[in-house]
Amino acid sequence: MFTFDTTIDAIQTGKKQFVNTFVTNEAVKEALNSFVDAQTQYTKSAFKAGSDTAASVAKEMTKSIGEAAKFDYAKFGEGVMKAYNSLNKAAK
């Protein structure tokens, strides 16, 4: 299955290269790079949670559709007609 880790790493590596190229103060550079690392961890976790949630929802929807296909609509229709007929007789 496709993961976004490679894309996330590429973007975050670009950010780090930008910081390393244009920031001359070592303390600021270190702080920004640690911030980028924190962003990387958060973004990967968020994508994983979203992916897991989507997979779970899809699995449950598939299971529900399969259960709905097993429903005996003829038997349900007979029950509705019996209820209708009993209400119709009671009304007369």
Confidence category of residue 1, pLDDT binned at 50, 70, 90:
very low
Structure confidence at residue 91 (pLDDT)? 67
Placement of tokens 């509705």 in the chain: 80
Q: Residues 12, 2: contact at Cβ < 8 Å?
A: no
Q: Domain residues of the chain, as ranges?
A: 5-91
pLDDT tens-digit map of 6-34: 999 999 999 999 999 999 999 999 999 99
Residues 45-80: tens digit of each pLDDT: 999 999 999 999 999 999 998 888 888 888 888 888
Per-residue DSSP letters for 46-66? HHHHHHHHHHHHHHHHHHHHH
How does 39-70 read in b/e, with b if 16+ C-beta sit within 10 Å?
ebeebbeeeeeeeeeeeeeeeeeeeeeeeeee
